[in-house]
Chains A and B, each alone.
Chain A
Amino acid sequence: MAETGNEIVSMKGIYKSFPGVLALENVDFTLRSGEIHALVGENGAGKSTLIKVLTGVERPDKGLVSLDGKDVSIRSPQHAQEMGISTVYQEVNLCLNLTVAENILIGREPRKWGSIDWKTMNTRAGQILQGLEINIDVTQTLGSCSIAVQQMAAIARAFEISSAKILILDEPTSSLTIHETEQLFGVMRKLKNEGMAIIFITHFLDQVYEVADRITVLRNGKLVGTYNTSMLPRLELITKMIGRTLTEFNEMTHLKLESSQHIKGDKLLQAKGLGRSGSIEPFDLELHAGEVVGLAGLLGSGRTEIAQLLFGIDKPDTGSINMDGKPVRDFSPIGSIERGVALCPEDRKVAGIVADLTVRENIILAMQASLGWFKHLSMQKQYEIADKYIKLLNISTPSADQQVKNLSGGNQQKVILARWLATNPRLLILDEPTRGIDVGTKAEIQKLVLSLAEEGMSCMFISSELEEVLRTSHRIVVLRDHEKVTEYTGDVGERKIMKSIAGSD
């Protein structure tokens, strides 16, 4: 913290709501020049909304934003850039088929006699990159460079546009290797020393502790607090990110205790040395009927990857799965459905609902897929199934013929759940089944999972909310950095699991 200076950005009492959700509630945020400020929080905490308010993509419902002590209203991303705020988004949105120099200077090419002055352009781009301590040939196409260099080019471009005072990096390291990350951090530190204010958004806590001077934690759209990195132990940070609510705790404990007596001894599914390079290190796992197994770990730790391997979305490179003692050969969703495995996927919009189809069609989709298209369920049967699950799961919809896109997030989630329950699975994998839905529905789904287990189903419960995993799972598998770290059975303290997640003892 060389010359931690004046407050360059100050946001006070920011409110922002979207239909059905309060994305930001009375959030304060300050940024000083010459600091790297980490913005952390679980998904849906409001990080990206806060950034969007600062970059002019969204306008706040209430609240004040001031730059350099002057109140401003940021009208558009363009406007934000003019005021010295540049953003590098998670997905590098550059043109891979153009050269590095073209990418950096696109739209502001130096001109000579009305046409582009290539020589000046290439030297200038080279100079800018050298300023970031990168020496590459700027005339090669961007696509042929490593992701790190692409990321740097994006930063160089952001730099060029506005000679920025404020740089926002949204998950810049998610696709970088360790070495590339180091390179990026070098650049960040250099910029910081030159007086730049940097907002750094990441899910990797190691990286937060490596470069950030201060940390702001958001949870459920509310500010938890802003802390100096050196004053905030890692464990405390995770506690603050995850938060806790103790409602219905007793009832759930009771349910869990009762259902734990129904766990069967023999293995329903056994994974041995199962792995896929680039997504999850080889792991062993056993699942039993009547048991809820929770996967705990931060986002990107390999939770979803395990779910997708078990369901056959991805094919494993190594290892094997045995189901009912027989080795699994057909790694495909349809094969899994026939074996009695179901996956309620993580991203409801992308991989879950089929928006324009009706509630009825969405519910019977997987069941019909497993029957094949010749064994067409009669209309009457379709309505019977749909109505049964609408009642069972308490889906609030005007009718089974409503298009599913018109339902609220929680009800859409229930429709997906219904789709999988209709296939009569023996193993139900739930990947973030409660993300982005209200507290009441959350509790309903948690209870449902336990009662399904009591009826003999084997469930795998994946969630970013540790407390939720603890509450619903009989056994917890902890993941860190694409690796299964350990397993806990029975009553385990939250602290112990957090320590495993954080990797500190």
Chain B
Amino acid sequence: MKPSKTSFDWRKVTESRLFFPFVALALILLFDLIFIPGFFHLEIKQGHLYGNLIDVLRNSAPTIMLAMGMTLVIATGGIDLSVGAVMAIAASTACIMLNPNLVGLKLADVTREADPAYSASPLFLVFLVPLIISAICGLWNGLLVAYGKIQPMVATLILMIAGRGIAQLVTNAIKIIIYNGTFLQLGNGWLFLLPAALYIAAIVFAIAWVATRKTSLGMFIESVGINSRSSFFSGINEKKIKLIAYVFCGVCAGIAGLVAVSSIRTSDANQVGLYFELDAILAVIIGGTLLSGGRFSLLASAIGALVIQATTTSSLAIGVPASALIAVKAVVVIVVILLYSQQVRDFLRKITSRTKQKEVKS
């Protein structure tokens, strides 16, 4: 029999914020280990690591980025439904700046456009302008929610719907193929064996973590999410805090949009970031942040994003048709939501304390 000390530690682990996201991820990987031969197979080709695991990491990068911003917004007690549309706006903006000729129907010489070195605007602007526009989108959401006192779901629904239209307008509803080599690196490049997108996700994560945990912003966000009236009485400008969260979320969506459009090599305002807002929200929920706001963990949200992508990749690997993927995700959601409900937690606690008692008896 184990000494009872370890069972005490066990309980501490189960109460941890990271416990359930990790369990979920482990369960999915365990499933893969048993049912999908070769899922864990990794090999190095031309200096790149290849394998299903790497696919999971690379494909989850945009969701991780979105989840960072979404975590902060949800922690303030809000929600941002517009991130998918903002991704599309950022993607369209970047593409039009790279190659405006196709839209204007000026049939300039095609060879020059297909040149990987060609960009109509300075490259740093191609990255910067979409992010500024994304920040403005976030600002718009934040102003509606914090200063307009509109319910977050309604306020961000506006941009969710209008955003795709705006993205269409930007490119005149034409799909633009990306040839620029540097830009393509975002979604397709590699660095030290790993995909470049993963590094970008890591940087976004690091920035979000430093901004919230190395300053007091994180505590203020949590405080506003738990009790905005108390926070106001304590001198916290709760409107400004909310605004910051939405702007940050917008910028995250912009970055995710650039990475996503780069990896599919074509700007398509109807496809880029479609349904990504749901994945981002789901990642945050799996990460254990309550939709009512309050305590949050960026790492848990990032793991949540991995859980979602691992589910998708595994489903595809065992032959679930792409059209039925959403159904599989729904099952994952149900399981996660059940695990988080207080009833189920109390039940689990009862079980763990019962085994503890048994151990003590024996």
Q: Mark A residues whose CB is within 8 Å of B.
A: 313, 333-334, 336-337, 343, 345, 350-357, 361, 365-366, 368-374, 376-377, 419
A-contact 0/1 string along B214-234, CB 8 Å cutoff: 111101101100110111111
* Residue pair B236, A365 in contact (C-beta under 8 Å): yes
* Residue pair B219, A366 in contact (C-beta under 8 Å): no
**A376 partner, pick from B214, B235, B236, beta carbons under 8 A:** B214
* Residue pair A353, B234 in contact (C-beta under 8 Å): no
* Residue pair B230, A374 in contact (C-beta under 8 Å): no
**B226 partner, pick from A345, A355, A374, A419, beta carbons under 8 A:** A355
| 11 more A-B residue pairs beyond the given contacts A313-B232, A356-B226, with a C-beta to C-beta distance below 8 A | A333-B233, A333-B235, A336-B235, A354-B222, A357-B222, A357-B223, A366-B234, A368-B216, A373-B216, A373-B220, A376-B215
Q: List which B129-159 residues lie within 8 A (CB) of chain A.
A: none
* Residue pair A354, B217 in contact (C-beta under 8 Å): no
Number of chain B residues whose Cβ lies closer than 8 Å to a Cβ of chain A: 21
Q: Complex: how many Å from CA A313 to CA B231?
A: 12
Q: Complex: how many Å from CA A372 to CA B233?
A: 15
Name the residue on A nearest B227 (C-beta): A354
* Residue pair B295, A356 in contact (C-beta under 8 Å): yes
A351 with B215, Cβ < 8 A, contacts A356-B294, A357-B222, A369-B220 known: no
Chain A residue contacts of B235, Cβ below 8 A: 333-334, 336-337, 366, 369-370
For A351, A355, A368, A373, which residue has the most chain B Cβ atoms within 10 angstroms? A373
Chain B residue contacts of A343, Cβ below 8 A: 233
Q: List which B229-287 residues lie within 8 A (CB) of chain A.
A: 229-237
* Residue pair B215, A373 in contact (C-beta under 8 Å): yes
Q: Complex: how many Å from CA A377 to CA B218?
A: 13
* Residue pair A368, B295 in contact (C-beta under 8 Å): no
Q: Complex: how many Å from CA A237 to CA B216?
A: 51
* Residue pair B226, A377 in contact (C-beta under 8 Å): no
Q: List which B72-103 residues lie within 8 A (CB) of chain A.
A: none
**Can you report 17 A-B residue pairs in the complex whose CB atoms are below 8 A from each other?**
A333-B234, A337-B235, A350-B229, A350-B230, A351-B230, A354-B222, A354-B223, A354-B226, A356-B226, A356-B294, A357-B222, A365-B234, A365-B236, A366-B234, A372-B216, A373-B220, A376-B216
A353 to chain B, nearest CB (A): 6
Q: Complex: how many Å from CA A365 to CA B233?
A: 10
* Residue pair A377, B216 in contact (C-beta under 8 Å): yes
B353 to chain A, nearest CB (A): 19
For A313, A333, A345, which residue has the most chain B Cβ atoms within 10 angstroms? A333
* Residue pair A374, B215 in contact (C-beta under 8 Å): yes
Q: Mark B residues whose CB is within 8 Å of A.
A: 214-217, 219-220, 222-223, 226-227, 229-237, 294-295
Name the residue on A nearest B229 (C-beta): A351
A373 to chain B, nearest CB (A): 4
Q: Complex: how many Å from CA A351 to CA B223?
A: 12
Q: Complex: how many Å from CA A58 to CA B321?
A: 55
Q: Complex: how many Å from CA A376 to CA B219?
A: 10
A271 to chain B, nearest CB (A): 20
Q: Complex: how many Å from CA A377 to CA B220?
A: 13
* Residue pair B219, A334 in contact (C-beta under 8 Å): no
Chain B residue contacts of A353, Cβ below 8 A: 227, 230
B340 to chain A, nearest CB (A): 15
Q: Complex: how many Å from CA A352 to CA B19?
A: 31
Name the residue on B nearest A403 (C-beta): B295
Closest 7 CB pairs of A and B: A369-B235, A373-B216, A334-B235, A366-B234, A337-B235, A333-B235, A373-B217
Q: Complex: how many Å from CA A356 to CA B295?
A: 8
* Residue pair B231, A345 in contact (C-beta under 8 Å): no
Name the residue on B nearest A334 (C-beta): B235
B271 to chain A, nearest CB (A): 38
* Residue pair A365, B223 in contact (C-beta under 8 Å): yes
Q: Complex: how many Å from CA A338 to CA B233?
A: 13
* Residue pair A356, B222 in contact (C-beta under 8 Å): yes
Q: Complex: how many Å from CA A366 to CA B216?
A: 11
**A369 partner, pick from B226, B234, B294, beta carbons under 8 A:** B234
Q: Complex: how many Å from CA A395 to CA B335?
A: 41
B200 to chain A, nearest CB (A): 25
Q: Complex: how many Å from CA A504 to CA B235?
A: 41
A313 with B215, Cβ < 8 A, contacts A353-B227, A356-B222 known: no
Q: Complex: how many Å from CA A371 to CA B220?
A: 12
Q: Complex: how many Å from CA A108 to CA B215?
A: 57
B284 to chain A, nearest CB (A): 17
B241 to chain A, nearest CB (A): 9
A372 to chain B, nearest CB (A): 8
Chain A residue contacts of B232, Cβ below 8 A: 313, 333
* Residue pair B226, A352 in contact (C-beta under 8 Å): no
Q: Complex: how many Å from CA A350 to CA B226?
A: 11
**A354 partner, pick from B215, B216, B230, B237, beta carbons under 8 A:** B230
